Amino acid sequence: MNAARTSEKSGRALMNDLQTKREADRAQANREELTQRIAQAIRTDGAKEPLKGLHFYRSSSPSECFHSVSIPAFCVIAQGSKEVLLGSDRYQYDPMHYLLGTVELPIASRILEATQEKPYLGLRFDLDPTLVGSAMVEAGYPSAQRGASVKAIDVSPLDVDLLDAVVRLVRLINSPAEAHVLAPLIKREIIYRLLLGEQGARLRQIAVLGGYTHHIAKAVDRLRKDFNQPIRIESIARELGMSVSGFHHHFKSVTAMSPLQFQKQLRLQEARRLMLGQNLDATSVAYRVGYDDASHFNREYKRLFGVPPMRDVERLREAVRETASSI
């Protein structure tokens, strides 16, 4: 009897080992195919959108910190690695992990691993709240509990089934007729598998009507639209049905920064964009984005970007000229 039980356990262990090996082999094959397909689709450094809501990125060298406003998205790396900074929090990911963001936020990011021979290759899958909500209803998932606040960005292991769905979506970039029919189905599957995973609660916050994360998302939207106006915390908290202290607490839980820090980053990023795109001087831009004191603007700009405004803009323009001349 004991020998039979031992044999049965050994058989189960062998089957589990074989299943684990098959999944590891499938994941490796998928990673290799994803790398090859992205490399073929985008042959020079930069970005490309081969399907609506699906973006490819390539870089042949590590990068300095790039400041931007993130959107709700599911991000995967085929080759290389990347770091995203949100407030004082750091999130690093690579081909074995994915990053999920659910609220529009000012972030900084940088590519850590990339060479000419093995460039950084990544993709971003934009998350549509309507599609997320529809998938939740169809799958029978409950909405997030009211009172919960979930931080807006995190990194998790990329499991084989989710990676498989990503690869099948990427294959469609070379088959427009099939993409028209199959892309919506595969996008829905990706969202479903994200809902199944450890970041399912974070993803559900995109579509729910209850929970504090939804309220903070509304506050974020208002701050983004009125970034050059004075912040009236009491007014925003009252409109959301929250106390001032509660609003501060939940805002920082979701965004990893205070409302004032959030507004400051938005103002400085917009100032940078205006100086680059419209050739405005630092003083004019300072007043346009909401600063009353140009010297205060200069100090905060240098604190965020490392150098004074006009020197930073010239440095960025020089980088663009060097990139253009090398293509």
Residue 148 has a pLDDT of 55
Alpha-carbon span 169 to 172, nearest angstrom: 6
Residue 36 has a pLDDT of 98
Distances (CA, A) of 322 to 278, 318, 327: 21, 6, 9
Structure tokens given for 263: 């507004």
Residue 325 has a pLDDT of 52
Structural domains in the chain? 41-204 (2.60.120.10), 259-327 (1.10.10.60)
Helix (H, G, I), strand (E, B) or coil at 323: helix
Distances (CA, A) of 90 to 82, 85, 93, 109: 10, 5, 10, 9
Residue 212 has a pLDDT of 66
Alpha-carbon span 43 to 36, nearest angstrom: 11
DSSP class of residue 72 equals: S
Least confident window among 177-186, 203-212, 265-274:
203-212
Residue 160 has a pLDDT of 96
* Residue 192 near residue 90, CB atoms below 8 Å: no
Q: Residue 124: which pLDDT band, with cuts at 50, 70 and 90?
A: very high
The strand order across the sheet containing 81-86 reads 66-70, 105-113, 81-86, 89-93
Residue 101 has a pLDDT of 93
Which residues are within 8 A (CB) of 25 and not within 5 positions of it... i.e. 6 or more apart?
Answer: none
Q: CA triplet 22, 28, 57: central angle to 5 degrees?
A: 150
Over residues 258-270, mean pLDDT: 94
Nearest to 175 by CA among 186, 164, 160: 186
Over residues 205-225, mean pLDDT: 76
Alpha-carbon span 189 to 82, nearest angstrom: 25
* Residue 170 near residue 35, CB atoms below 8 Å: no
The label of the residue with tokens 């504090």 reads 212
Residue 121 has a pLDDT of 98
Alpha-carbon span 324 to 327, nearest angstrom: 6
Residue 143 has a pLDDT of 58
Residue 166 has a pLDDT of 98
DSSP class of residue 128 equals: P
Condensed to tens digits (0 to 9), the pLDDT of residues 90-123 reads: 999 999 999 999 888 899 999 999 999 999 999 9
Condensed to tens digits (0 to 9), the pLDDT of residues 150-197 reads: 788 999 999 999 999 999 999 999 999 999 999 999 999 999 999 999
Distances (CA, A) of 276 to 66, 178, 227, 258, 261: 14, 41, 19, 27, 23
Over residues 9-35, mean pLDDT: 82
Pairing label, strands 120-126, 54-59: antiparallel
DSSP string, 260-322: HHHHHHHHHHHHHHHHHHH---HHHHHHHTT-S-HHHHHHHHHHHHSS-HHHHHHHHHHHHHH
Residue 316 has a pLDDT of 84
Nearest to 57 by CA among 41, 36, 33, 72: 41
Question: At residue 272, does pLDDT exceed 90?
Answer: yes
Query: Chain centroid to CA 37: how far?
Result: 21
